[in-house]
Chains A and B, each alone.
Chain A
Amino acid sequence: MTSRSDPGAPSRPADHIDSAEPDPGEASVNQPKLGVVGWLRFAWRQLTSMRTALLLLLLLAIAAVPGSLVPQRSSDPNGVTQYFDDNPTLAPILDGFQMFDVYTSAWFSAVYLLLFVSLIGCIIPRTKHHFEALRARPPRTPARLGRLAGYTERTAPEGIDAETAIATATTQLRQAGYRVERYEQRGVLSVSAERGYLRETGNLVFHTALLGVLVAVGFGGGFGFSGQRVIVEGQTFVNTLAAYDSFNPGRFFDDTRLQPYSLSLEELDAVYETENRKAFGQPIDFTAHVTVEGQGEESTDRTVKVNEPLYTHGTDVYLLGNGYAPTITVRNADGEVVFTDSVPFLPQDANLTSIGVVKVPDGMDEQLGMVGFFYPTQETLDTGAYASTYPDLVYPVLTLNVYQGDLGINEGKPTSVYTLDPSTMEQLTGGDTGVDSIELMPGETTELPNGLGTVTFENASPDASEGDYSQSVPRFASFDIHHDPTQIWVLVFAVLILAGLLVSLFVPRRRMWVKALERPDGRIALEYAALARGEDPTLEDAVSAFADKHAGPADDAK
């Protein structure tokens, strides 16, 4: 039922359950002193033992836990910033232990690299041994089958001699997928058969493919890139380094590999639930209609959806976010346009209350900054505060707080387009100024305070009927653009892992023997027995099934 030790399998770690039991006396014998080589060999044997692999596996599981308890820079950079703010004393200590980069940390890497070294140390000798086993003949039939698993005896039908019985057994075993070898030991005919070599093949494929995944992931990170870009409806993005809002290249990435193509966002459709009251306003569908044009190519219309990325020109384009980009125009006191643009406002909640910043560096006496709130469907709460109650454009309102002074961008210092540093500026509206914030609906224009000029919230569809704001504000799409040359290899290795696993766990590896003994009465007694090599729950059934097939049902005497 369970596997037994098999002295003929030296390829496995010494403490594998299928390896030979160590001689208990051996350990107590005085061992000679180990030299450097001896120590290295000892260390290698320890590292490649089953016990070490098992402990490293458990260690890997434990080492992965902290990464789920503390925010990680890789998946949640804002969470890390927040954590530093909330725990100013604890966070630097944790950071010292690389707790915010667990999966690239020295200690996590050490565990999995040791595990993989142990794995390599295990699979190389096993592969070698397996190749030899594939060419080897099934071993000699043991002298006494009676002690082996599933042992059963049958009497051959009258008139069948030993030669015929063994010959048919050999044929039947071969047909059943066994590799067979006939033996004649002291005049006794027998056949030795072995099957299930695929089990070990699957095992080796599984472990090698794990290594393959690790290597592919490592290389993929090195040669690929990922970038982000926000595109407002009507705008075009060209796949060049400068066009990305943020860009994370791999270690070996070379920007000449970027294929220049352009991607224009024609329209972003957003559909929200309107019927189910329990889910009112829940997003149902986002579809970005884009046109793609490569060098010297016709432009083609394509779509990008949340679960349907666009694969084009060696890059994968994902729609990961969207929101509103109100078009705002600022004129100075002379009526000259000093700023006009669709400014992406970042959504803050499910109903798309959004925050954005307008920076006017030139054209006025002093630099002007505005912090805006956009409510696609504005409602006034009991407290007097504004809120959005629905994510689509039903009653869009834009409020702006105006700041005057130094934007802090003159020294060429890079600053975020989504934040305004008010420390060197004077607030003119909202807050404690006593002046109401500027409040606009699409198409409206109002005076800036102190006669600085005017600000306009442009209506994107001025011809729409009265009260229809559904197209009045442009939307933006936030695209992630990736290139990962080894992704396909990760998939290939993953499939190999699964296939190897299935084969190695479900194909039974077993040996079976049939022996023909001549009885004094001249009839032939047939002996059947088998040996499991690895987990084999159906071994005994297999022996009796084969015996039934070969010599008929069991003798009643038994």
Chain B
Amino acid sequence: MQLDEISILCVYSAMVVYAIAFIAFSIDLAKRSAAVTAAADATPEVTAGAPEHVGVLQAAAAAKASAAAAAAEGGASAGPARPAKVKLGAAGGPGAGASVAYGRSPALRVGVAMTVLAWLLHLSGTVLRGLAAGRVPWANMYEFALTGTLIITTVFLLVLVVAKQDLRFLGTFVTGLVLVLLGVATINFYVSPIPLPPALQSIWLVIHVFVASASVGFFALGFALSVVQLMQARREAVIASAKAAKASFLATLPDAVSLENLAYRVNIIGFIMWTFTLMAGAVWAEKAWGRYWGWDTKEVWTFIIWVVYAGYIHARATRGWRGSRSAWLAIIGFSTVLFNFTVVNLFFKGLHAYSGL
């Protein structure tokens, strides 16, 4: 099992690099807090002595420029940091609070670079595992964790490229989550590569399980955005009630409404994939078990996850539920996803007994 040993080596190396990335992202968050404190201490006018911190921009000041708000660029360009992107929170809306411009600190760049490196190692480890087993690398719990976390990182990196907002601040969450899951997987779920039992010898293993893990990647990112959204909403509420807000890295992040919209977009992609997962699973179940739906424990939880996220989408369209309440539903949704992956796989009796443990 030469290939599998190299694969494990790659995975361990990836974990080390993820850990470095995690530390870099954490340092960046700490720097953000420091930047906000510094900005709060500085006079409202931007002084030449603080090139990295552009200053406090009152939301009201942006009202006139609302048409161009989304893409507004910060003014200060001199200095070592690249031009800081200013996100003008909910322009003109009450309670948006102060936001602080913040560029890309060296720590943030190290974090992203390390994440890309870790992703490459992670990818090699996963591909080698597949080669060692002579099939797709997601046929038991260890492999599923390997592929699932790989997709979480992939989705994160993709969103960094595609999204208009700068979402690098999610790096701490993403690398942290991936690191923990990989750690649990390598220590607790590892099994050496073995051939597929007859029930898994199907093209649907490739389709159904891959789409399932891909949707987990999107749900994870949506979860992170919803958590930050809740924190941001709390901070905005504090500012709106005119109490002194604590200096926090949150001031450098998009406002709650933007976060919510982003979370929603990420989550609906996850939801569509989950819908497909459920249907592909039913088609496969018909072939392998002779019925398309039988309320097997895993089917039950797939259904529950689907209904919770359907609830989330409805909550977004229900007056009084948009905002923090729907964010809680997204958080509950991802919790059920994790529950389905861990507790249901390991402790519930059912037909999806493929953890290999």
Contact = CB atoms under 8 A, between A and B. Distances in A.
Given A64-B303, A305-B198, A75 B290 contact: no
Contact of B198 (A57, A279, A284): A284
Interface string B326-357: 00010000001000000010001111000000
A1 B87 CA distance: 15
Nearest to A210: B310
B288 to A, nearest CB: 5
A487 B286 contact: yes
Given A16-B318, A307-B199, A316-B290, A278 B192 contact: yes
B194 A279 contact: yes
Contacts of B193: 278
Nearest to B283: A491
A54 B314 contact: yes
B265 A537 contact: yes
A61 B199 CA distance: 29
A535 B266 CA distance: 13
Given A58-B311, A494-B282, A307 B287 contact: yes
Contacts of B195: 273, 276, 279, 282, 284
Contact of B300 (A64, A309, A505): A64
Contacts of A30: none
Q: Which of B204, B279, B317 has the most CB atoms of chain A within a 10 A radius of its CB?
A: B317
Contacts of A68: 297, 300-301, 344, 348, 350
A308 B284 CA distance: 10
A103 interface: yes
B93 to A, nearest CB: 11
A527 interface: no
A267 interface: no
B197 A17 contact: no
Interface string A54-78: 1001101100110111011011100
The majority secondary structure among interface residues of chain B is helix
Given A17-B319, A480-B290, A505-B272, A540 B70 contact: yes
A21 B320 CA distance: 11
A67 B67 contact: no
B296 interface: yes
Interface stretch (A192-200, A405-413, A496-504): A496-504
Nearest to A481: B290
A18 interface: yes
A15 B322 CA distance: 11
Interface string B280-313: 0011101111111111110011011001101100
A50 interface: yes
B2 to A, nearest CB: 14
Contacts of B283: 491
Contacts of A276: 194-195
B70, B204, B284 interface centre (most CB from chain A within 10 Å): B70
Given A480-B290, A482-B291, A498 B275 contact: yes
Main SS class of interface, A: mixed
B264 interface: yes
In the complex, which of the residues B291, B320, B321 has the most CB atoms of chain A within 10 Å of its own CB atom? Answer: B291
Contact of B275 (A71, A75, A286, A497): A497
A153 to B, nearest CB: 10
A64 B304 contact: yes
Interface in A136-171: 150-152
Contact of B289 (A15, A217, A318, A501): A318
Nearest to A153: B67
Interface centre among B192, B268, B314, B316 (most CB of A within 10 A): B314
A71 B287 contact: no
Contact of A505 (B268, B315, B319): B268
Contacts of A292: none
A278 B194 contact: yes
B13 interface: no
Given A16-B317, A53-B314, A75 B295 contact: yes
B201 interface: yes
Given A64-B303, A74-B294, A18 B272 contact: no
Nearest to B333: A61
Contacts of B349: 71, 76, 79
A51 B351 CA distance: 36
B77 interface: no
Contacts of B197: 282-284
A61 B304 contact: yes
Contact of A50 (B70, B199, B319): B319
B257 interface: yes
Contacts of B292: 487, 490
Given A74-B294, A79-B349, A307-B199, A57 B314 contact: yes
Given A16-B318, A282-B194, A75 B294 contact: yes
Contacts of B204: 307
A426 interface: no
Nearest to B278: A494
A67 B318 contact: no
Contact of B288 (A1, A50, A306): A306
A61 B279 CA distance: 18
A273 B283 CA distance: 28
Nearest to A72: B295
Nearest to A149: B67
Nearest to A57: B311
B83 to A, nearest CB: 21
B261 interface: yes
B12 interface: no
B173 interface: no
Contacts of A535: 264, 316
A537 B286 CA distance: 39
Given A16-B319, A51-B318, A60 B194 contact: no
Interface in B247-287: 257, 261, 264-265, 268, 271-272, 275-276, 279, 282-284, 286-287
What 9 pairs between A and B have smallest CB-CB spacing? A279-B194, A318-B290, A306-B198, A50-B318, A57-B311, A61-B307, A307-B202, A68-B300, A480-B290
Given A54-B321, A74-B294, 5 more contacts: A50-B319, A58-B329, A283-B197, A306-B198, A306-B288
26 contacts: A15-B319, A15-B320, A17-B322, A54-B315, A57-B307, A57-B311, A61-B336, A67-B300, A68-B301, A68-B344, A68-B350, A72-B295, A75-B294, A76-B349, A150-B67, A282-B197, A284-B195, A286-B198, A306-B199, A309-B290, A316-B290, A318-B290, A495-B279, A497-B275, A498-B279, A502-B272
